[in-house]
Structure 1
Amino acid sequence: MLTEEQIKMARAALGWSVTDLAKHSSVGARTIHRIESEGGLAVATQANIKLIVTTLEAAGIEFIGAPNDGPGVRLWLHFDSQ
């Protein structure tokens, strides 16, 4: 299961701002801010979560660990976000 922190870590690994992720995923920046807040994933739509995860994975991110067991991300390739 994904955590809010993993989304933030993934953006950081790619050097993406919330605006960059919004542009690449077609999910609004305000929605991403809300999802990244504490408890935000619980109220997010599955469609938006899927768009975000798919976008980040396509950019080379692998989500690792579980919420209660060292959640994190791994960057497999660098995607030029510009």
Structure 2
Amino acid sequence: MLTSYQVRAGRALVRWSARELAVEAGVSLNTIQRIEAVDGVPSTSAKTLGAIQRALEGAGVEFIPGGARLRDSTTSN
């Protein structure tokens, strides 16, 4: 399950504002702010976390245990 740390890290990696992530994920800015304000697994629906994860992955973020990194663009998936 995606953690608030991973959301913050992923957003920082792609240099998106919270508002940009909200738009890309199709959720409210308030939802992003609430998720990022807690530690650990946020209290939100799996659907919401999935939308955030897909948006960040689409921008090149790869989620790894306990963190996030930019996907290596030199390798194919």
Aligned match of 1:14? 14
Aligned match of 2:54? 54
1:27·1:48 contact (CA, 8 Å) conserved in 2? yes
2:3·2:39 contact (CA, 8 Å) conserved in 1? no
Matched length: 73
Aligned match of 1:31? 31
Higher relative strand content: 1
Aligned-residue Cα RMSD (Å) equals: 1.9
Whole-angstrom distance in 2 between the partners of 1:10 and 1:42: 15
TM-score, scaled to structure 1: 0.78
Aligned match of 2:71? 76
Q: Which runs of 5+ in 1 are unaligned?
A: 66-70
1:34·1:40 contact (CA, 8 Å) conserved in 2? no
Q: Say if 1:48 and 1:11 are closer, same or farther in 2 by CA, change over 3 A.
A: same
1:6-45 Cα offsets, whole Å, 9 max, x none, are 1000000000010010111111000111111215744201
The list of structure 1 runs, each at least 4 consecutive aligned residues, that deviate by more than 3 angstroms after superposition, is 39-42
Q: Which runs of 5+ in 2 are unaligned?
A: none
1:8·1:36 contact (CA, 8 Å) conserved in 2? yes
Taking every aligned residue pair, what percent have the same amino acid on both sides?
38
